[in-house]
Structure 1
């Protein structure tokens, strides 16, 4: 497979940068180190250097004859905002250049109605996997080679969730696409960390909402918390999903392609009515400048800034509001089965983790030093 580097526009600490996105490759990594002021972004998972004409020329000169430098996104978008495909057909076109990905892989993802984000993750991981074994036929790859690949990811200090996603993407091909159930008996997943979800105090969340003056941003934060929504679910909402008569929000095609109803707050409904009159969204409840879906990155930035204004010292992300929703309902005496339904969890075991962070029972125990 031809070595390939995609140039991306990045904005880091208010400064424009040239992002270099590529599959892990020793030759490319060695040449990158020779570029001046080259750095690595953990957030964007790519190398970058200042967006200057001389640096752009250096990149093309450095990798001439070694890798194809793809500037389609970089030169085709003067605003520096990459537009991600949002349906399977566009995703298919994006990965058309990865000729080693079997056509059946994408077809099966689409036929089984996998969520767009899940399909995108699977394709990304599977492309990297195949690129690693570019000199082998896919049918010749054994459990031993797969375990060696997982060890390779571990040496790269990839997270356990990243490695698990790679395993899922690989298993999907052999077990679902190729119809070989339980193909990988000896492929070892990394041991799962039993970490408790991070939860905010209710008063801190209310302070975040109160100190957010932008109506659109206020509605976003309020819905994430009051309805227990995932970020992707929030961005997929359409105006007709807000049912003011029954006071519920319909979440369609959520994780696992399941629909569910969740709570609609009376206070949030009032703000949403004001928001609708002011912004007049066309397709999605929250839209960007060009009437498309609002970006996930923007939602993250909104939550982060609101937490900063509220004086919260710990890092806050949108999913913490969902964790807080579940925990606060449990502390208020809501039955765990109802919380499971509101969150859209398939298994009660997933919801039970909130029993470990809820404090309503712990606070009734008298501390030994307070006796």
Structure 2
């Protein structure tokens, strides 16, 4: 439930001097990306409104379970319920870790199971190539290639500066700052490296790799709009998002024989089990093929 960063933070602040729920929430949010902080703030605010601003130390397991059931009755999607409940469980777990809460009352409450739709969010190799090839703008085309070839998250790409890219034996590598303050280095292909260097021109080391017209970092919202437009141009159906390119990277790499631990390291998955989901989403064989015709 807690990231490695949160575990370390909890060990430092165990038996902390936090006096209020707001102080605990601020400590829990520390180190998360701006996007994640805003999302978690909304989720926790929704929970606090549901329990009528009861102090967290007075929250019971029944409150957390009732919160989950209420969202079901209100017609929220399973993914929305899972996200909000995950935030509540994470906060309560962190509260116990630092000694602010005596018991983690959220631990016994399970997240509702969602229908697995990963296979629906993986593009074919030809769809990815078409998506990139039909993009008329140089920056956008290179950005689509970067998302696919590195498998990075949109938020990770948006914060990159040129100083995070370094030459490496004729090619290059990029340092990616991921979730939970985890850092990973990803090798780039020769073709992608050369195209990036050509695109850079005279940009300074502190300049954004992918910038807006004003010269600032692109926002994830900007990137998602670009990907949706590219998918429409390529005739790809579905609610295509930038994250589909990350899914496609993992699936295609595994299908072509990349070691699962290498894919895990490249994508920054905390567990190899997460990477393994792509093997199940697009199996290479089926027992159905062995049945009599």
TM-score when normalising by structure 1: 0.64
Q: Compared with structure 1, are the counterparts of its residues 313 and 109 closer, same or farther at alpha carbon in structure 2 (3 Å cutoff)?
A: closer
Q: Compared with structure 1, are the counterparts of its residues 209 and 195 closer, same or farther at alpha carbon in structure 2 (3 Å cutoff)?
A: closer
Segment of structure 1 superposing worse, 294-303 or 130-139: 130-139
Q: Flag the structure with higher strand content.
A: 1
Q: RMSD value over aligned CA atoms?
A: 2.6
Q: Which residue of 2 aligns with 1:190?
A: 112
Q: CA deviation at 1:108?
A: 3.6
Contact 1:164/1:190 (<8 A) preserved: yes
Pairing partner for 2:41 from 123, 128, 136: 123
Count of residue pairs the alignment pairs up: 265
The answer on 1:218 being equivalent to 2:218 is no
Q: CA deviation at 1:101?
A: 5.9
Contact 1:122/1:168 (<8 A) preserved: no
Q: CA deviation at 1:349?
A: 0.8
TM-score when normalising by structure 2: 0.80
Q: CA deviation at 1:186?
A: 3.9
Q: CA deviation at 1:299?
A: 0.8
Q: What pairs up with 1:243-322 in 2 under 5 angstroms?
A: 243-246=166-169, 247-252=172-177, 254-277=178-201, 282-322=206-246
Q: Compared with structure 1, are the counterparts of its residues 137 and 107 closer, same or farther at alpha carbon in structure 2 (3 Å cutoff)?
A: closer
**Looking at CA atoms only, which structure, 1 or 2, has the larger radius of gyration?**
1
Q: CA deviation at 1:229?
A: 1.1
Q: Which residue of 2 aligns with 1:148?
A: 66
Contact 2:25/2:91 (<8 A) preserved: yes
Q: Which residue of 2 aligns with 1:202?
A: 125
Q: Which has the higher contact order (CA 8 A, sep 6+)?
A: 2
Q: CA deviation at 1:180?
A: 3.6
Contact 1:260/1:341 (<8 A) preserved: yes
Structure 1 segments unaligned to the other structure (5+ residues):
1-99
Q: Compared with structure 1, are the counterparts of its residues 196 and 135 closer, same or farther at alpha carbon in structure 2 (3 Å cutoff)?
A: closer
Deviations 1:238-287, CA, capped at 9 Å, x for gaps: 112222325222112x0222111223122222322232128778532122
Q: Compared with structure 1, are the counterparts of its residues 185 and 106 closer, same or farther at alpha carbon in structure 2 (3 Å cutoff)?
A: closer
Q: Which residue of 2 aligns with 1:351?
A: 275
Contact 2:57/2:101 (<8 A) preserved: no
